[in-house]
Amino acid sequence: MHVKRFAAAKPYDAPNHRGVVGLRLQGFEPGGPANQWVGLSQFLPGGGAGPDSTPFEKVYVVIEGEMTVIVGGQEIVLGRYDSCTIAPGEIREIVNRRNDVCTMLVVIPYPPGVKP
pLDDT digits (tens, 9 = 90+) for 39-66: 999 999 999 999 999 999 999 999 999 9
Residue 22 resides in a domain: yes
Q: What is the CATH number of the domain that holds 71?
A: 2.60.120.10
Residue 4 resides in a domain: no
| Element (DSSP H or E) covering residue 70 | strand 67-71
Residue 64 resides in a domain: yes
Residue 37 resides in a domain: yes
- Reported pTM: 0.93
Residue 56 resides in a domain: yes
Q: How many angstroms separate the most distant Cα atoms in the chain? A: 42
Mean pLDDT of the region 84-95: 97
Count: domains in the chain: 1
Residues in the chain, total: 116
Query: Structural domain of residue 85, as residue ranges?
Result: 9-109
How far is it, in rounded angstroms, from Cα 19 to Cα 95?
10
Produce one character per residue of 88-112: b if its CB has 16 or more CB atoms within 10 Å, e if not.
eeeebebbbeeeebbbbebbbbbee
Residue 3 resides in a domain: no
